[in-house]
């Protein structure tokens, strides 16, 4: 099995990919778009993408890419995220002038970063990639926020550990692919739909599920490009698409939703198998 993920070795997406399959061949990609392309065109069978963090919220670009592409969600995993401030061995916190990391990681460590005076905070494409930038450039006055594994891979030492704002910092990743990830029966479904701009349309849409006892675990709205102030609604349902209540709710929604698409029906994350 080959799995594509965004970032450098040591990224949290790499850790998520290992939870999907511990013996898979992993393909690091520079961007989320490249992950989709790697699965769409090869050589990867699956792609792993962050979709939501318990502190920083949704990763909006990946919601948009799910709509732009036609690769279904076939699974999900959750990864506890522990951030460290990493620098070259021998560097001191007082000498640090810049901190690199991914925007989500910077947001998750906002309280700690506010304690650093006179330090420039610079957003980069990846947490582990930031560690690589420090190592490659031999930047003695620069630190990166990344995982402990990234520090090990790129030879950096922690100046401060567990610097995220909250201890229960978790990122949820989705798995995309053309084939089911496992033979386990699905118990979760992700859909996207649009609604007419009229009173009560969202209430009517949500009622289709409430009246049939289908639980919504996530609701996200995203703008429709080229149509100002119109939105797509992304919803996670705690039910398989083929379950009768879910089928009927989707049938009801299809009667008045101009756009309705199932992005995937899959096994929800229940924790790493023992």
Among 37, 34, 36, 39, residue whose Cα is nearest residue 24: 39
Catalytic one of 36, 173, 209, 233: 173
Q: What is the CATH number of domain 188-266?
A: 3.30.70.260
Contacts of 65 (CB under 8 A, 6+ apart): 32, 33, 36, 49
Spatial CB neighbours of 103, under 8 Å, sequence gap ≥ 6:
123
| pLDDT of 271 | 78
Fold of the 84-161 domain: D-Maltodextrin-Binding Protein; domain 2 (3.40.190)
> Are 84-161 and 188-266 in the same CATH fold?
no
CATH domain 2-81+169-177 topology:
D-Maltodextrin-Binding Protein; domain 2 (3.40.190)
> Is there a catalytic annotation at residue 171?
yes
Kindly list the domain boundaries of the chain, sorted by start residue.
Answer: 2-81+169-177, 84-161, 188-266
pLDDT at 77: 97
pLDDT at 211: 97
The yes-or-no answer on residue 256 being catalytic is no
Beta strands 98-101 and 120-123 are parallel
Between the alpha carbon of residue 53 and those of residues 87, 226, 240, 270, the distances in Å are: 25, 28, 24, 17
pLDDT tens for each residue of 41-55: 999 999 999 999 998
The pLDDT tens digits of the residues spanning 219-229 come to 999 999 899 99
141 in Cβ contact with 92 (< 8 Å):
no
Burial-class residue 12 by CB neighbours within 10 Å (0-12, 13-18, 19+).
buried
CA angle (181 as vertex; 209, 265 as ends), nearest 5? 10
CA atoms of 182 and 74, how far apart (whole Å)? 8
- SS3 assignment, position 266: strand
Q: What pLDDT, on a 0 to 100 scale, did the predictor assign at position 272?
A: 64
- Rounded to a whole number of angstroms, the distance between the first and last alpha carbons of the chain is 21
Tens digit of each residue's pLDDT (9 = 90 or more) over 165-179:
998 899 999 999 999
The single residue of 124, 127, 171, 189 carrying the catalytic annotation is 171
Closest listed residue to residue 100, CA positions, set 76, 136, 66: 136
Strands 46-53 and 57-58, by their bridges, are antiparallel
Report pLDDT for 270: 86
pLDDT at res. 55: 87
In the structure encoding, which two tokens stand for residue 140, read together? Answer: 């003695």
CA distances from 206 to 182, 196, 216, 273 (A): 30, 14, 9, 34
Q: Cβ(144)–Cβ(133) under 8 Å?
A: yes
Ranges in the chain, pLDDT < 70: 272-274
pLDDT at 105: 93
């Amino acid at each position: 099995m080959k799995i594509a993920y965004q970032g450098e070795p040591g990224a949290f997406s790499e850790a998520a990919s290992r939870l999907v399959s511990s013996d898979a061949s992993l393909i690091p990609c520079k961007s989320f778009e490249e992950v989709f392309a790697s699965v769409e065109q090869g050589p990867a069978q699956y792609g792993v993408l962050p979709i939501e963090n318990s502190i920083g919220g949704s990763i909006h670009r990946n919601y948009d890419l799910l709509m732009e592409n036609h690769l279904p969600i076939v699974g999900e995993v959750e990864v506890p995220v522990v951030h460290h401030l990493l620098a070259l061995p021998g560097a001191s916190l007082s000498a640090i002038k810049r901190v690199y990391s991914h925007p989500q990681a910077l947001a998750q460590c906002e309280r700690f970063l506010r304690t650093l005076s006179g330090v420039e905070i610079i957003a980069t494409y990846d947490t582990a990639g930031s560690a690589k930038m420090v190592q490659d450039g031999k930047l003695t006055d620069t630190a990166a926020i990344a995982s402990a594994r990234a520090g090990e891979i790129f030879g950096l030492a922690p100046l401060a550990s567990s610097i995220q704002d909250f201890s229960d910092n978790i990122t949820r990743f989705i798995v995309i692919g053309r084939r089911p990830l496992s033979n386990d029966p699905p118990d979760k479904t992700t859909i996207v739909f649009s609604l007419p701009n009229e009173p009560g349309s969202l209430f009517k849409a949500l009622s289709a599920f409430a009246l049939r006892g289908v639980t919504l675990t996530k609701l996200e709205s995203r703008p429709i490009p080229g149509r100002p102030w119109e939105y797509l609604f992304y919803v996670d349902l705690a039910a398989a698409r083929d379950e009768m209540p879910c089928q009927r709710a989707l049938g009801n929604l299809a009667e008045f939703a101009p756009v309705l698409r199932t992005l995937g029906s899959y096994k929800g994350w229940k924790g790493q198998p023992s």
